[in-house]
Amino acid sequence: MTGKPKISPSSEQIRAAGVKVTRQRVRVLDALLAARQPLCHGELESQLGGAEAGSRRVIDRVTLYRVLDSLVACGLAMRAVDPRGVFRFSATGAPRQHAGHVHFRCTDCGGVFCLKAEPPPPPALPRGFRLAQVEFDVRGTCAQCGAR
């Protein structure tokens, strides 16, 4: 059978974000897309075989940090700090898709939910200051955690 290999949706998203497609980036983005809630570095490392010595599927700790940083930088993943101060990562689905609205972050489960609300306008800055980024999050307990 001849033909082109099937290209995964994650590969296409990475390519569309203007980042080089690598096996590690595809695996990490696939894991984030499949996750039901944001994952910390250790959870991703365990899930992707980081503890399996000798496996070709291993992504070492440093590579995983770099891959996560690159996915956040190109807009394919979000990084948030949970109530214990641990970074948690979730897929955004498309580059820069989370720029124009507010997010609700559950302080119990760490879930991140998109709200249909525009963020407030940025504050007026003193002369000489330049605004680089504004993030607006609402924090509390999600409906599922509140029902427990």
Q: Which domains does the chain have, with CATH numbers?
A: 1-93 (1.10.10.10), 100-148 (3.30.1490)
Q: What tens digit of pLDDT does each residue of 17-72 get? A: 899 999 999 999 999 998 877 889 999 999 887 544 455 567 889 999 999 999 99
Q: What is the mean pLDDT of residues 108-133?
A: 84
Instruction: Count the residues in the chain.
Output: 148
Q: What is the mean pLDDT of residues 108-131?
A: 85
For 31, 104, 105, 110, the CA distances from 144, given in Å and listed in that order, are: 23, 13, 13, 12
Which of 16-20, 56-60, 120-124, 134-138 comes out lowest in average pLDDT?
56-60
* Residue 27: per-residue pLDDT: 93
Pairing of β 137-140 and β 77-81: unpaired
* Residue 51: per-residue pLDDT: 47
- Rounded-to-integer distance, Cα 82 and Cα 118, Å: 23
* Residue 53: per-residue pLDDT: 46
Backbone torsions φ then ψ of 78, nearest 5 degrees: -115, 145
Q: What tens digit of pLDDT does each residue of 71-114 get? A: 999 989 988 877 778 888 988 865 555 566 788 888 887 777 77
Residues near 85 by beta carbon (within 8 Å), at least 6 away in sequence? none
Backbone torsions φ then ψ of 91, nearest 5 degrees: -75, 145
- Rounded-to-integer distance, Cα 127 and Cα 141, Å: 39
Helices 23-34/9-16 angle, 10° precision? 110
- Is the predicted pLDDT of residue 5 greater than 60, yes or no? no
Q: What is the mean pLDDT of residues 134-138?
A: 77
